[in-house]
Structures are given as structure tokens and as C-alpha cells.
Structure 1
Amino acid sequence: MHTKKPLLLLTSILLLVFSGMRGQEEDPFVPYNVPSQNLLKFNRFLINPTFSTVREDKSYINLFHRNQSVSFDDNNQVYFLSYSGRVSDRSGVGLSLFTNREGLFNNFGVHANYAYGVRLGLKSSFTFGANISYYQSAFNQDRANSIEDDPFLNTLESSSLVSFQPGFNFSVGRFDIGGFAENLFDYNLKTSESVTEFNEKTYSGHLQYTHPFENGRGIMESARLMPLARVRKVGENNLTLGGNLILDLPKLGWLQAGYDDFYGASAGLGFNLTKNISLGYTVEKGLSNEFENFGVTHEISLAYSFTPNLTEDRVMLEKENESLVENENVPQDSLNLTEKDFEIAELKEKLAENDAILDELLMRQDSIETNRRQDLERRFETVMKMVKRETNGQNPALEEKAKQLYFNNMDTADIVSRKTQPLSNHGLTNTTAAKKVIRLNDKKDDPQSAVVANSPVKQDNINRAVASNGKRARFKSHSVPNVQSGHYLIANVFRDSENVSAFIEELRAQGIEANYFENPKNGLNYVYIGDFENKTEALDAYRTKMNGAYGGDAWIMNVNGGDSTIGGYTAVENGQNSKYGNSVLHKNLANKGTKVASGVSYSSDAIDGLPSGFYIIANVFETSSSATQFVKELNAKGLNASYFINPNDKLRYVYLKKHETWGNALTSYYTKLNASYDDEMWILRIKPNRTV
């Protein structure tokens, strides 16, 4: 119903002047008043300033419009353009531009929000925040329609006002309880007076519960149900009670309903049009005398949401550990694990294993070819010296004939030149355009290969890796768990343990005290004939062939093993002393879950209050001091480590990186975090959760 009669207009103006307007007669204004009882999805900080971070896991830009009591001409209309979200693990902000039209007055201003939380206990926190509004309230002469020209209306000026609205929230488990002073401090800058007296202040309180559907599937995946009860006291008026309920379905949208003693009943729904864009609508019908005859109220919301680059929830963060992990900016794929993902992971694992084998074989081939060339040169020089000695250098033709005869009779069938494919795609260094493949089984004249060629030991596909280049030894550094650091002179590498035993027995029969160790990272067994603490001793043993005791090929392997700064944290069951006390647990807790692909340790858990994703776990501790010390040492090495507490087992999980997708987690796992961490790690998937 639209009322245009002058009498009704005059009545409306008088009502606004005597009830809504404040201040001196020549400077009228309308105070800030934006109904927020239906803002359950976006702009929640208008209900309580702390809601920009409490139970909030998204950041968003939102356009909101409320058209109140549409049947009334000069009704209250609100437009909000706002940004809100968490900016760190402990704080959230909001910033809005708004315009509010009420009767013949317009308010236009800016609204700012800030909230900060502190941890009180394992499942409790305290958050405080505030809303600050600055706006101008002015009489809209274009909407005035007086019967006669009134010069007084032309003299009205706008007023500048500021409002400070603090609030707090206690979180205990899944419950939230808090309070909000909606106009604790409101000030008219033009008249230098307070807008409301102390007995006119408005206060509100809330009680909220969050129920996540942890085992939800389909449209219920990551869903949560959030009932909210409110009580509001406006000045000396009676208490106003209200309640709301929202079912948030990230896969689809949301449903909401509510009731307020003053504004009436409401119902709304929203749809996630895309992964980031959402559209919502709410309708409200007044049931009290104030709004019963003014028609319905419409609210429309359009939002663009995105996930902030945050780590764990602030509630789960220990006070003594402020280290945060920045999530890399990567494409956000589906979190669903498929058979294809498992196959790709298995292929990558096999490829990495083959690359290690090829790398060692190429080193061996280069070294043997160099030694062979040097041996051929020595033989040729010996033959030519014998010819020259017989001819006294007086018969060049005979010398040339001997040279041709030597090369024609020389057996070169065992050397086959073959170009290899570039290996750079597999992480190997392709240093030459062509590699030599040596047929070891046909080498009968080379004394250095006699031990292997004439040995009854069954040869694995992994042969001895030689790392000599002329007189210069190569050092290949490895991190091998549970192996003492040092320089090892490696004689052979096997995969089959039976071949290891047979080869060691042959070496010991020759008087060489050989031994071996296993590298769990590639499953290979390394047979060594000497271990040394410094490089000089290892080089001497390499060049002298263990003082002539060993005639085969060998190479030096530099091992950074179990006694390194980070690599060697002793497990509790070993019973050894650790600088972290007796709280150190298994470094690799793969037995908690499954092996997704050969060698990929993976497990899954559901933890309240921790963002879902895939965590690269480096270690697990029982006490905060041990976890903090380990994190500090990791960060001192250039890493960005942090840890969280799993309330299910009360343990501290130290992680190196958090990923949103399985593929990105696998990439970090296989690349060792871009070669920044070489010790054991495993992937822990945290299922859908909500902030505690």
C-alpha cells in the first residue's frame, strides 16, 4: 500500500522529528541503526564484532541490501558494501561502506571492524573486538514535499557522528557466549554532545553452538548447523528475545530461519553459484504492533568468497610457538583421492627409485671408461717403446705398421657407444651427450673386474657404483637414517640380501673386513670396505685401494646419518638420551595409516578446530617444550615449521607445510620440500573441521 496523501506525509514527518531525530532543533539527524538479526552467513561482525574471526574460515567481499517494510513509502533501506575475514591465525577485520535511508534522512559513512583472540586452554579461547562507525546524517530536501515553502528546511545542515561498539566472545568447545555494547560511545562531532545518554544505551548478548557434520557425504560434506540465541536491551525498554538457525552446506549453499520479538519471523536461503560466488535472499514479516501492518522486509546478499592463506586455527596454536607456515599459492584442485592419484603416486615412487639406480650406474660407467682408456694408452706406449728399442728409431715404416697391427688386433667389441635420453626430467644431471655401456660379463682381461666377473654371486640389477674420474674421487652425499655419519668406501650395491652376504664373504676371504648398511629410502644395501670420519682418510684409502688389499672398483659415499642435528632424534623405545627429553615419539608414524604408494606414508584423522588439508609431518612429541625446541631448530635451517595439538591423542604434531590438495602434498613429499628437508616425513590428512 503506497500512501501519498499530504496529511499522512505530515504525520510521518512529525513522527520522525519527535521520535527518530536527535540533537538541537536546527541540526536534526538519525542515529546509526542497521538491523543485523538475519546476518548469519555474511557480515556476521554486525551481530558481534568478534564474529569476523570466531567460527570463520573464509574471507569475502559482500554487497548487502535490506528493504524494510516495503509497503511504507519512506521506509528504512540499507546498502552495505563490505569486506570481512581472518587476516591471521588470531585476528579478523572488516571494512564497509554503507548508506542508510530512514524517512527523510540519509546516513552515509564507513564502518570498520577488528577482532583478536587469545588461547585460554586446549579447547577454550577469548576473543574481543570492536566496530567503529563514522557517518554523516543529513536531511534529504529532494524527498521533502511540504504543502508550502518552508525556509527553515533550506537551513538544515548535515551532522557528523562517530560510534564505538565493543564486544567479546568466549569459546568453550563448540559453544560461544558473548556480549555487545551497540552504542557504548556515540558522539556528535558538530554539536560536541553524546547522541545517547547512559540509560539509553543498547546491549545484546548471544549464545551459539556449532555442530559440524564430520561424517557427511555428498551435499552434507563439510556441513555445519549453527543455532544462535540472542537477548537485546534497548534503553529502558523491555528485553527483546530472538533466535536464529543456519544450516551451512558448502557444496550447495545454506538455509536459515529466525525469530525476533521486535522484527518478527524470517526465513532465507542461499546458493553457491560457483566455488567463490554466492547469492542469498531472506524475507522477514513483522508480527508485533510496530511492524505488523507495514508489510514484509526483503534482504538480498551477493558475495565473493575466498580462503585466506592461513595455517592452523589460533585456538590450537601454543603460546610459546608463534611460527606460522605460509601456504604456497597453488591451484586448488579437488580434495577427493582417486585411483588415478594412487597410480600416479606409485609411478613417481618407482621413477625416483630407478633414477637413483641410473645415477649410480652412470657414475660407474664414466669411471670404468676413463680407467679403460688410460689402460689402453699405457699398453700402446709399452708396445711402441719395445718397437723403437728394437729398431733404434731408424725404421719409421716398421713403427707405423706395428701401430696399425696393434689397433687392428685390439678387442674393442666390448665397448658399445650408445646415446642416452636426457635425464634432466628425472632430477639427474646429464653431464655428457653420450654415455658408454660396458658389457661386464665379457671383460676377461681387466683385473679390476675379476672379483665380480668370476664370482659365483648372483648379480642384482644394481651393480657396483664407481665414482672416480681419473685421479679425482667423487663424493655423493646421502642422508641415511640410523647410520652413523661419515665417509664410506663403497664396493658394491645390492637389492637382494642373499647377494650381500655372499659378496661380503668373498671379500672377507680376501682379508678385507667388509660390512654393509641398508638405505630405507631406496631399499638398497651398500657394501663398504672401510668407514672414515674425515674426507682425507677416505681419499687415501680410495687412492691406495685400501693399501692394495682391494683390486676392484669403489667409490666414496658421504653419509649424513642418524646422528645428525635433525635426522637423528632417538625414539622413546630406544631408551637413549635425547636433547628433547623422553617425549620424542616415532619420527615416521606410518603405522597409523596406510601406504598410499610404495614408500609414501599416509594417514587420515578428523581433528576439531584444525583446517582441513594435507599436512607434511616431520615429528610428533608429547610435550610442548620438546615440540617448540624441534620447531626452532627446523626454522633455524630456513624452514617454516609449526605444530598443532591433536585433541584425540594429546600429542604435538610438527609439520613442515600444509597443502589443500593431495597432488601438491605428494609434490612436496617427493621433492623433499624443494630439497630443503632430507629426513623422513609423512602425509597426514585432516578431514573437514571447524574452528574451535
Structure 2
Amino acid sequence: MKTHLLVLILCFCSIQMFHSQEDDGVVALSLPVRNSLTFNRFVINPTFSFVREQHKYISFFNKREWVQFDDAPLTYMASYSGRFGENIGAGLGLFQQNYGVLTTFGATTNFAYNVRMNRDSNLTFGLNIGAYKSGLNSGSVVSNIDDPALQNIPDNFLLTINPGINYGLAFIDIGLSINNLVVYNFESSQMLKDNPEQGIQAHLMYTGYMNSRGFFDEAKFSGLLRSEFKTDETIISAQAMLTIPKGIWAQVGYNSVFGMSGGLGLNITPQIAVEYNYEKAIGDLTTFGPSHDITLAYRFKNRDRYDYSSGDDVSGLISGNKRKPVISKIAKAKAEANRKLAAEKKAEEEAQKEAEAQAILLAEQKAQQKADAQAKLLAEQKAQQEAEAQAKLLAEQKAQQEAEAQAKLLAEQKAQQEAEAQTKLLAERKAQQEAEAQAKLLAEQKAQHEADA
């Protein structure tokens, strides 16, 4: 049986995540956490560490698939994940998977951040980053002869990235994720090509509560519908879970590849829980037999009441304290809605008052600016008028001075002319007198000569 193990495994590699066309020993990462809506939900979609989550968990998960088949796929995972704040979810998981003669060992980290759109809607972004070692599990190889092909299978170290997004309403969640968006092989220093586990996954989830009497009063119902679109196939799956407030939950599911599933969960105490799921293969995988997975978890106490979470009161079969009376989920939802409505109304009133005060302040500032501008304009006009008056006065003074200077000049010219005329007149008189005196002298001399003659 052992000698034919490798051949048999290679026959269903397309189903069980092997990629050996180019890189021997490489296994594409696909953690088989698909039947639980309570624990390790961040593996389903990177945003689910935040979406509808109230607590933080430490969990230990084991899944054995197809138990009728020797050396069937076996998965172990230990994780710490959940809600870490009003807008933050995170997770860390360590895992090991054995696929007959092939094995993987590694870790996956998760981070989710939420953005609140309005009172009843949120947009959450998530990212899973996985790093793991993939190679040959030599302890599972049983052969009578040495096979060089097995000895040449190298160990590979790979890194994978899986982003996701979720849009949440009061009871509905809609989201997308990309599985194995990027897978980098450090051994070959190149991206993994033709990855059979690469695909786009879409989901629609409903979360609601039952308002009835008796055992099922305040029970929570969760339903998840998923479609995963891969290169060679499309996988459709659906899950439904009913959680009873006494700390018991049951879930059923269907997967178009892996078949039907059913499971039960129980809170042993408010902190310690255990969950078991049974999966029955269908179609070509029926001969491999059923699959089993079991989870043991520890739930941390959380005193915070986050928005956009289940907010369920947790109880267990064993509890040191009596359970406090639980208010109806609908009453809680109404009270929470009324509280939010009152808070929003108060915030709106405060915003209105602040807006009115801001408007008054702006109006006062505008009036002040207008008054300042008016005063500045008046001051400029007054200064202009004063400047014009001053200029006019200076012009008048200058004109007066010029007129006076002109008058003075004219007076001086007139005085000069009069003085020159007077001088000329005196000169003419003097010349006349001298001429007359000369004529008189000449006449006297002539008369003298005549007398002398």
C-alpha cells in the first residue's frame, strides 16, 4: 500500500492543492477551515477577524480528511485571533499540513481595519500574509529501493498574500477576497505559476436573532453563502449556524467539491469551548471516506461593548456565577438604536448650535470687515480731499506768488523805463542848455569880433 502512495496522491493533485509542474515539492496553501462559523473565521475571509466579532480566542484545530485513505491529508493549526479594538481585528496562526509524502509548515498573519460609513454600515479591509515551508516528508516515504526522484525534491519557502474586503449593514455582509493573489517561491526566486488554489471568492452573510419563547429565545442565526471562482472550476458552498444562548450551537453546510457537513459546539465554561464537525464526501471523493475536524478554544473575557459585533452574552455548562437575566436581542437592538439616535440627535443639535455660532461669528466678522473697508474708504476719500485741497492751496499760492513776481517785474520794468526816460529828458535838456549856451557864446564872440572889427 505504501509503495503506491505517491502515485495515488498525484492522481488527485488537482483537488488537493499540489503544484509540481515547475517546482517539485511545492504545495499551494489552502487551509481546510471551511466548516466553522465560530473559530478561525479569518481564514475564510481576512476581514472576518473583525466582522461580527466581539471576543479574542486562542484555538487549537485539527482536521483529518478522508479517513478511509491511508496517510490522508492532516492539518494542525494553533491560532490567536479576534477583535482588538473598535476598528481593528487581527490574528496569528501556526499550521502544519501533511499530504502523504509532502508536508507544509508555516504561519499566517491577519490584520483587518474597519471604516464606519454611517450608523448602520461599515467597510472593512483585511489582509492575510502566509509564510510556509513546503517539501518532502521523508518519514512518510516507504520504498524497497532508493528513488533518485524523491531524493531530488527540494524544500521550498513560499510567501502568499490574500487581501479581502467586506461591506456590512445591520444584518447583511457582502464581501470579496482573493486567495493566493501572490505566491512567491524563495527557492526558485520567482512567482508560482498556474496555481490551482488561486481564485476570487465572494460571500453573502446574514446574522439575525430569534424573538420567541422557550429554549430558542434570543438564539442567533448565521448564514453564509460563498462562491469561489478558480481557473479550472467554480466552488459553491453554503453554511448555516444556530447558536442557543445556553452556550450550544449547531451548524450544517454544503460544498460542491467536499460534500455535506454538520457540526456541534459547546461552551464548557464561558471561556472554554469545544467544536466538532463531520464532513461527508460526495461524487468522485466518496471512496475516500468522511472527514473530521475538532477545535478546542479559550475565549478571553471582554468588558468592552464594540459596535458592529454580535454582543452575545456568553454562558457555559459549568459557570461559577448564575447567569444574569438577558434582555431580548431585539430590545437590546432597539435600546442601542435609541441610544445611538439620541446621541446622533444631540450631536446634530450641538453641530447646529456650533454652526449657528459659527454663522454669527462669520456674520460679525463680515460686518467688521465691511465696516473696516468702509472706514478705510472714507479715510482714503478724506485723505484724497485733503490732498486735493492742499494741492489747490499750493497752486493758488504759487499763482499768487507768480502774479506778484510778474507785477513786481512789470513795476520794475516800468520804473526802469521811467528812469531811462527821465535820464534821456535830462540829457536832452542839458544838451539843449549847452547848445543854447554855446550858441550864446558864439553869438557873443561874433558880436565881439564885429565890435572889434
What is the TM-score when the length of structure 2 is the normalising length?
Answer: 0.68
Partner of 2:286: 292
Is the 2:24–2:153 contact (alpha carbons within 8 Å) kept by the matching residues of 1? yes
State whether structure 2 residue 117 is matched by structure 1 residue 129. no
Distance 1:294 1:89 in 2: 45
Partner of 1:581: none
Q: Which amino acid aligns with 2:345?
A: E
State whether structure 2 residue 347 is matched by structure 1 residue 624. yes
For residues 90-239 of structure 1, what are the structure 2 equivalents within 5 Å?
A: 90-197=87-194, 201-213=198-210, 215=211, 219-220=215-216, 222-237=218-233, 239=234
**Aligned with residue 58 of structure 1, among 55, 74, 84:** 55
Partner of 1:365: none
Is the 1:90–1:314 contact (alpha carbons within 8 Å) kept by the matching residues of 2? no
- Aligned residue for 2:150, secondary structure, equals helix
Is the 1:57–1:307 contact (alpha carbons within 8 Å) kept by the matching residues of 2? no
**Aligned with residue 250 of structure 2, among 241, 255, 263:** 255
Is the 2:135–2:154 contact (alpha carbons within 8 Å) kept by the matching residues of 1? yes
Distance 1:623 1:273 in 2: 43
Is the 1:49–1:113 contact (alpha carbons within 8 Å) kept by the matching residues of 2? yes
Q: CA 1:211/1:605 → structure 2, altered by over 3 Å: closer, same or farther?
A: closer
Q: Deviations over 1:58-96 (max 9, x none)?
A: 211111111000111121111110111100011101111
Partner of 2:75: 78
Partner of 1:643: none
Distance 2:325 2:244 in 1: 21
Q: Deviations over 1:428-451 (max 9, x none)?
A: xxxxxxxxxxxxxxxxxxxxxxxx
Deviation at 1:109, TM superposition (A): 0.4
Deviation at 1:277, TM superposition (A): 0.8
Q: RMSD of the alignment, in Å?
A: 3.3
Partner of 1:606: 332
Q: Which amino acid aligns with 1:15?
A: C
Q: Which amino acid aligns with 1:131?
A: N
Q: CA 1:230/1:286 → structure 2, altered by over 3 Å: closer, same or farther?
A: same
- Aligned residue for 2:27, secondary structure, equals coil
State whether structure 2 residue 7 is matched by structure 1 residue 11. yes
**Aligned with residue 244 of structure 1, among 228, 239, 242:** 239
Partner of 1:282: 277
Is the 2:54–2:306 contact (alpha carbons within 8 Å) kept by the matching residues of 1? no
Distance 2:28 2:254 in 1: 25
Distance 1:118 1:95 in 2: 22
Q: Which amino acid aligns with 2:333?
A: I
- Aligned residue for 1:624, secondary structure, equals helix
Q: Deviations over 1:135-172 (max 9, x none)?
A: 00120111111231124433433110011001111112
Distance 2:320 2:132 in 1: 40
For residues 545-560 of structure 1, what are the structure 2 equivalents within 5 Å?
A: none
Deviation at 1:100, TM superposition (A): 0.7
Is the 2:176–2:201 contact (alpha carbons within 8 Å) kept by the matching residues of 1? yes
Distance 2:60 2:335 in 1: 29
Deviation at 1:16, TM superposition (A): 6.9
Q: CA 1:150/1:47 → structure 2, altered by over 3 Å: closer, same or farther?
A: same
- Aligned residue for 1:606, secondary structure, equals helix
Give structure 1 stretches of 5+ with no counterpart.
316-330, 339-603, 631-692
Distance 2:227 2:178 in 1: 12
Is the 1:253–1:278 contact (alpha carbons within 8 Å) kept by the matching residues of 2? no
- Aligned residue for 1:100, secondary structure, equals strand
Q: Which amino acid aligns with 1:258?
A: G
Deviation at 1:313, TM superposition (A): 0.8
Partner of 1:267: 262
Deviation at 1:250, TM superposition (A): 3.5
Higher helix proportion (structure 1 or 2): 2
Deviation at 1:333, TM superposition (A): 5.8
Distance 1:196 1:25 in 2: 8
Aligned residues: 339
Which is greater in Rg?
2
What is the TM-score when the length of structure 1 is the normalising length?
Answer: 0.45
Is the 2:109–2:129 contact (alpha carbons within 8 Å) kept by the matching residues of 1? yes
Is the 2:28–2:197 contact (alpha carbons within 8 Å) kept by the matching residues of 1? no
For residues 410-421 of structure 1, what are the structure 2 equivalents within 5 Å?
A: none
Deviation at 1:280, TM superposition (A): 1.1
Q: CA 1:288/1:609 → structure 2, altered by over 3 Å: closer, same or farther?
A: farther
- Aligned residue for 1:293, secondary structure, equals helix
Deviation at 1:44, TM superposition (A): 0.8
Q: Which amino acid aligns with 1:244?
A: Q
Q: Which amino acid aligns with 1:283?
A: Y
Q: Deviations over 1:330-351 (max 9, x none)?
A: x99656369xxxxxxxxxxxxx
Percent of residue pairs bearing the same amino acid type = 34
